[in-house]
A and B are shown apart, each in its own frame.
Chain A
Amino acid sequence: MLNLKGKLNDPELCGRLLERIRKSAERPFRFMEVCGTHTVALFRSGIVSMLPKTMTHLSGPGCPVCVTHDSEIAAAIALAGQDNVHLATFGDLMRVPGPKGESLKKAKAAGARIDVVYSPLECLELAGADKSVEVVFIGVGFETTSPAVAATVLEAKRRGLKNFSVLCFHKLVPPALRALLAAPPVSPRVKSDSEGAGIDGFLLPGHVSTILGVEAYDFIAAQYGKPAVVAGFEPADLLQALAQLLEMRKNGTPQVRNEYVRAVHRQGNPKAREILNQVFEVGNARWRGLGLIPESGLQFRPEFAEYDALAKLGLSLKDTPPIPGCMCGEALAGLIQPPRCPLFGKRCTPQNPVGPCMVSTEGSCAAYYNYGF
């Protein structure tokens, strides 16, 4: 594995791929990645600094924490204040600010019971240990994490645990991409002739695609005539994918390709999808920056309704006022690059984040702040 990693970092190979990119980038090309790990890898490797000026890197709705809607964050924070509730969450969500600057981290400091877990299965131990509290897992993220949540729900059912439920905020990647292509987002704060000029191609996520496979994205080329490539995370993976995107555009042969064949099977992981489908069904979801997208999220199937924390605890998602000045939404929609936000690096920094894209280590604002110059 280390040998392969060495090869994929080889300066000579990367140099040749960059040459291919330069040859095909005469015209402006705006590419979007939709995976937080890609965001970071593009910066850390230095690729962002090496691309021709004609290429614009857009960091789309690919960071799980960032796309979680204001109203969903607000619901989680509201739940943290309830007696007899023990929340469990992935770490990054702790610092995401709500509209009034509140966060799970602050709620915990004030006495709420909140645990950071590395796997949703840990919730079952918590629930088993204290039956007097309701253990609620905050389920965010994409097809990469949701199968593990589904497996946890199945296990809870097998164990007969009655005090475990999930805030089901899971989202699906392909419907969001379709929404971006079908009706390109607009914002009153971004002039359409400046940056928001559409997307010419997609770097498709590596991890999500191990579950989904490749066919789920075919519509990108078939219906919208745009190239898309599933990419790995090493420099040569990313450069190879970008070269292919540009060449497909140049040759007028847009396709959806898989460059990450060592990890992603064309059919994905049918077993994981089967577990997912056993517990969840497709439903509407709210996305930060993109709003309500039909059939872009997961909801519990009726036979698993008892695990739906919203219904069980009598909560509903309420419209929340937007965070004043924050342009995370515009960044996630590909309308701007983070430094265009008036708060970036001034009022909003990783020390003191205003919006979620500055909180998550994989958020696009944090990546620009930590690696851009």
Chain B
Amino acid sequence: MNDILLLDHGSGGKASHRLINEVFVSRFSNPVLAGLNDAARLEISGPLAMSTDSYTVDPIFFPGGDIGSLAVHGTVNDVAMLGAEPLFISCGFIIEEGFALNQLIRIADSMALAARSAGVSIVTGDTKVVPKGAVDKVFINTTGLGRIIAEPMPHGGGAKAGDAVLISGPVGDHGLAVMSSRAGIMLAADVKSDSAAIHEMVLNLIRAEVEVHVLRDPTRGGLATTLNEIAGQSQVVIEVEQAGIPVRSGVAQAASVLGLDPLYLACEGRVIVIVPEQAAGRALEIMRSSPHGGQACRIGSVLAPDPDSGRPGQVLLQTPIGGKRLLSMLEGEQLPRIC
């Protein structure tokens, strides 16, 4: 096999078959995929959650992960946000002609490991190779399917006045890790992406019958943007305390140098959990004893809109010195192509 990918590898001919078998099927090994049929036959019942996402992150390898593991984690997490157990994933590769084969193998290895660890099977896929310049190195689309086990199902419009707002760990790591590796500088030794599958933590909450109103992973636009989305969908006011929001010191310092606000930087292994006040303590206990939730904490409350507390859809930030301001949605991205 050649060391770089050629248009032949996406032609559907022999070169395609070799590539699919040698790189993907062998690594993603499962009987459904190995059948190499046009579609995957799945056994699944009950209400389902389905989510799709395309990954275009630049650079494709960054501290703490790569485009392959990110494509699995991101989709697994999106499915889990409905209180669902992720089961199956599809993957579509669009690869630029000339891309190094060993890099593709590295990505496939990373995807296989991420899927295995998360307990999901990659059951169907597609590979295209396009002329140089038509994409930047490699783009991956993944679609995930899972069974919803939460009843009632958590959703973005579920936040109610009196609820507590929890976060599963420090924010901003992924966005900053991508930014610093893109700039080719090591801003701080301990800054790496938080990319991880967090469905176990979520399912632990559901199985323990914690009443979960909202689950959201703060990816693009970070914590601030996702809180604004929830406040808007739920038509409530969310108030968070800046001093209570966990940000690693390395992230805070590097963000300050770059003029970025960590509250707007993407996370890829965190979840915002909104539960009734009386369930907050137990939810935190469960999150803290789950993988990737050791630093879970409470960051704020959901309030009913009124002239003093704010208008529906607003997110207010209590500053460290005790003042208040709007935590608004950004006009555009702080950084493009972080996932």
> Which residues of A pack against B, CB within 8 Å?
2, 9, 11, 14-15, 43-50, 235, 350-351, 369-373
Residues of B within 8 A of A235 (CB): 319, 321
Given contacts A2-B253, A373-B310, A373-B311, are A45 and B328 in contact (CB under 8 A)?
no
5 nearest CB pairs, A to B:
A46-B323, A46-B319, A14-B321, A371-B325, A49-B324
Residues of B within 8 A of A372 (CB): 325-326
Of B314, B320, B321, B331, most buried by chain A (CB within 10 Å of CB) is B321
Residues of A within 8 A of B320 (CB): 9, 11
Residues of B within 8 A of A49 (CB): 323-325
Residues A370 and B323 in contact, CB atoms below 8 Å apart: no
Residues A50 and B328 in contact, CB atoms below 8 Å apart: no
Residues B322 and A11 in contact, CB atoms below 8 Å apart: yes
Q: Which of A45, A351, A369, A373 contacts B319 (CB 8 A)?
A: A45
Given contacts A350-B331, A371-B328, A373-B310, are A9 and B323 in contact (CB under 8 A)?
no
Cβ contacts B293-331/A at 8 Å (1 or 0 each): 000000000000000001100101111111111101001
**Count, chain B residues at interface, CB 8 A:** 17
Q: Which of A2, A14, A373 contacts B322 (CB 8 A)?
A: A14
Residues of A within 8 A of B328 (CB): 369-371
Residues B325 and A44 in contact, CB atoms below 8 Å apart: yes
Residues A371 and B326 in contact, CB atoms below 8 Å apart: yes
CB distance from A5 to the nearest CB of B (A): 9
Residues of B within 8 A of A50 (CB): 321-323
CB distance from A351 to the nearest CB of B (A): 6
18 contacts between A and B (CB under 8 A): A2-B253, A11-B320, A44-B319, A45-B319, A46-B318, A46-B319, A46-B325, A47-B323, A48-B323, A48-B325, A50-B323, A351-B331, A370-B326, A371-B328, A373-B310, A373-B324, A373-B325, A373-B326
Residues A43 and B321 in contact, CB atoms below 8 Å apart: no
Residues B331 and A373 in contact, CB atoms below 8 Å apart: no
Residues of A within 8 A of B311 (CB): 373
Residues A46 and B310 in contact, CB atoms below 8 Å apart: no
Residues of A within 8 A of B331 (CB): 350-351
Complex Cα distance A370/B331, Å?
10
Given contacts A11-B320, A373-B310, are A43 and B325 in contact (CB under 8 A)?
yes
Complex Cα distance A246/B18, Å?
79
Cβ contacts B70-107/A at 8 Å (1 or 0 each): 00000000000000000000000000000000000000
Residues B324 and A46 in contact, CB atoms below 8 Å apart: yes
